[in-house]
């Protein structure tokens, strides 16, 4: 029997948020406010780091797009966020995770040349269980590479960007939900596209603040890259904490994925097919629309086991056009086409908000202690991988089921 704390929280007052921010950027985040209510996984430290706002602690958030909203964040690339300016609570949570030996003490990689893979010091095997670098195709238990048989999990990296508006237009026509792995510093420059993606019900997920090779980054740099991106998503969605991150270049290892999971509760998502669509608009182009079409045709008419997680980008209208061209092929070949939350998140895009129907849920900052969950809660996901990120110290299976 599943036990956890259940709260009957008052619904977040939509009107109160909006009356405080009546101006150009007072977009309607209300559409995705708690439905039916919030939940928090009770014992993951992330919930101390990103407390939800009104009505529980009286917090309101600056209007997305306003100067007050963007001002507190670090600059974008090339430099990673200054580690001397990290919130003390994040650093304390990292140190706590290190103290309980949850963060592997392994060497950083260095990137040797543009376009090359980062390398570890000689004597360190990137495919050893200690390091297990995704760049070297080593898969860590609990990280997601494949979709369930028969499913295509749709996700788009690097937004908000020049292709975001056309992508959202198409998705609206198709009534299709997807996952956006967003670059935190990009959100500052395209707040409207960010909110449009959020308001239409897509999963907003983390793609770091400045898009580095993460295995080259120190523990504190990893903390800043993830933490600031979570922070801007949290403060721009009424307090939501994203569930997923994707490492830029697919570059993650046992250390970086542990920081993501242990400090921030994030599940690492890689992919099992790569369009190289990011290179369409390079000069000279790295790939072409025809090449992507041929790859898509091959993947989508091939075996349905495992299912597909295809690396795609919302960088330009051209990269989006390659997706638009492939979408009918996905459908006509009988794939179930879903977002990652639908695939491995039991339909909830965020760690602390049940953004779809279902019984709700858990202990949170109010400190309620116990109750019995409804047995009608769904307990499986299409892939069976939904609970893959669970830790010894969390009752993730329950939360993930909601």
Ligand X SMILES: *[C@@H]1O[C@H](CO)[C@@H](O)[C@H](O)[C@H]1NC(C)=O
Note the residues at the interface with ligand X (CB under 6 A): 3-4, 42-43, 53, 59-61, 72-73, 111, 113-114, 165-166, 169, 212-213, 231, 235, 317, 342, 346-347, 378, 381, 395
* Least CB distance to ligand X at residue 273 (A): 23
Among the residue ranges 15-23, 92-100, 110-118, 156-164, the one whose residues contact Zn ion (CB under 5 A): 156-164
* Least CB distance to ligand X at residue 73 (A): 6
Q: How many residues bind Zn ion (CB under 5 A)?
A: 3
Q: Which residues form the catalytic set?
A: 157, 313
Closest-CA residue to 349 (of 221, 212, 201, 194): 201
Closest-CA residue to 225 (of 74, 61, 27, 35): 74
Q: Which does 197 bind (CB under 5 to 8 A by kind): Zn ion, ligand X, none?
A: none
* Least CB distance to Zn ion at residue 311 (A): 9
Q: Which does 353 bind (CB under 5 to 8 A by kind): ligand X, Zn ion, none?
A: none
Bridge partners (DSSP) of residue 153 are 309, 338
Terminal CA-CA length for the chain: 15
Residue 157 touches Zn ion, criterion: CB under 5 A = yes
Handedness of CA 401, 235, 255, 365 (dihedral sign): negative
Per the omega criterion (within 30 degrees of 0), is the bond before 283 cis?
no
Residues in the chain: 402
Kindly write out the interface string for residues 232-271 of this chain, putting x where it contacts Zn ion by CB under 5 A and - elsewhere.
Answer: ----------------x-----------------------
Q: How far apart are CA 399 and CA 164, in angstroms?
A: 31
Closest-CA residue to 259 (of 268, 250, 251, 248): 268
Q: Which does 72 bind (CB under 5 to 8 A by kind): ligand X, Zn ion, none?
A: ligand X
Closest-CA residue to 185 (of 112, 76, 266): 76
For residues 3 and 16, which CB has a smaller minimum distance to ligand X in the complex?
Answer: 3
Q: Which does 158 bind (CB under 5 to 8 A by kind): Zn ion, ligand X, none?
A: Zn ion
* Least CB distance to ligand X at residue 298 (A): 28
* Least CB distance to Zn ion at residue 157 (A): 4
Q: Which does 157 bind (CB under 5 to 8 A by kind): Zn ion, ligand X, none?
A: Zn ion
For residues 242 and 248, which CB has a smaller minimum distance to Zn ion in the complex?
Answer: 248
Helix (H) or strand (E) holding 300: helix 289-300
For residues 157 and 225, which CB has a smaller minimum distance to Zn ion in the complex?
Answer: 157
Which of 158, 193, 225, 364 lies at the binding interface for Zn ion (CB under 5 A)?
158
For residues 15 and 392, which CB has a smaller minimum distance to ligand X in the complex?
Answer: 392
Residues 6+ apart with CB under 8 A from 107: 120, 121, 124, 131
Residue corresponding to tokens 């009104």: 54
* Least CB distance to Zn ion at residue 211 (A): 6
Distances (CA, A) of 173 to 64, 113, 300: 26, 42, 22
For residues 19 and 298, which CB has a smaller minimum distance to ligand X in the complex?
Answer: 19
Residue 312 touches Zn ion, criterion: CB under 5 A = no
Distances (CA, A) of 8 to 38, 102, 326: 9, 34, 44
213-249 burial, b for 16+ CB within 10 Å, e for fewer?
bbbbbebbbbbbbbbbbbbbbbbbbbbbbbbbbbbbb
* Least CB distance to ligand X at residue 293 (A): 20
For residues 234 and 261, which CB has a smaller minimum distance to ligand X in the complex?
Answer: 234
Residue 314 touches Zn ion, criterion: CB under 5 A = no
Q: How far apart are CA 100 and CA 258, in angstroms?
A: 12
User: Which stretches of the chain bind Zn ion, using CB under 5 A?
Assistant: 157-158, 248
């Amino acid at each position: 029997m599943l036990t956890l704390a259940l709260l009957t929280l008052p619904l977040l007052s939509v009107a109160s948020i909006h009356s405080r921010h009546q101006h150009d950027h007072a977009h309607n985040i209300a559409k995705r406010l708690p439905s039916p209510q919030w939940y928090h996984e009770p014992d993951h430290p992330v919930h101390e780091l990103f407390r939800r706002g009104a009505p529980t602690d009286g917090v309101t958030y600056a209007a997305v797009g306003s100067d007050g909203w963007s001002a507190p964040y670090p600059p974008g690339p090339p430099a990673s966020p200054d580690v001397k300016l990290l919130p003390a609570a994040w650093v304390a949570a990292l140190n706590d995770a290190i103290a309980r030996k949850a963060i592997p003490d392994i060497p950083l990689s260095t990137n040797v040349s543009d376009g090359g893979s980062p390398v570890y010091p000689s004597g360190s095997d990137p495919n050893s269980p200690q390091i297990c670098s995704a760049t070297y195709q080593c898969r860590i238990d609990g990280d997601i590479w494949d979709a369930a048989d028969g499913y295509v999990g749709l996700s788009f990296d690097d937004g908000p960007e020049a292709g975001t508006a056309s992508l959202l237009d198409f998705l609206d026509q198709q009534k299709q939900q997807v996952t956006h792995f967003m670059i935190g510093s990009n959100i500052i420059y395209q707040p409207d596209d960010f909110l449009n993606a959020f308001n239409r019900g897509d999963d907003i997920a983390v793609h770091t603040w400045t898009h580095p090779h993460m295995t080259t980054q120190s523990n504190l740099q990893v903390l800043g890259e993830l933490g600031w991106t979570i922070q801007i998503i949290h403060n721009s969605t009424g307090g939501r904490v994203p569930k997923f991150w994707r490492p830029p270049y697919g570059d993650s290892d046992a250390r970086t994925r542990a920081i993501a999971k242990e400090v921030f509760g994030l599940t690492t998502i890689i992919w099992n097919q790569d369009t190289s669509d990011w290179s369409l608009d390079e000069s000279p182009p790295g790939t072409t629309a025809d090449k992507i079409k041929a790859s898509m045709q091959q993947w989508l008419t091939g075996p349905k086991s495992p299912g597909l997680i295809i690396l795609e980008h919302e960088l330009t209208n051209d990269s989006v056009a390659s997706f638009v061209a492939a979408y009918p092929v996905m459908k006509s070949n009988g794939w179930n086409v879903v977002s990652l939350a639908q695939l491995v998140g039991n339909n909830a895009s965020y760690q602390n908000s049940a953004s779809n129907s279902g019984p709700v849920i858990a202990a949170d900052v109010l400190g309620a202690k116990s109750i019995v969950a409804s047995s009608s809660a769904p307990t499986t996901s299409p892939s069976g991988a939904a609970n893959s990120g669970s830790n010894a110290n969390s009752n993730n299976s329950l939360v993930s089921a909601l």
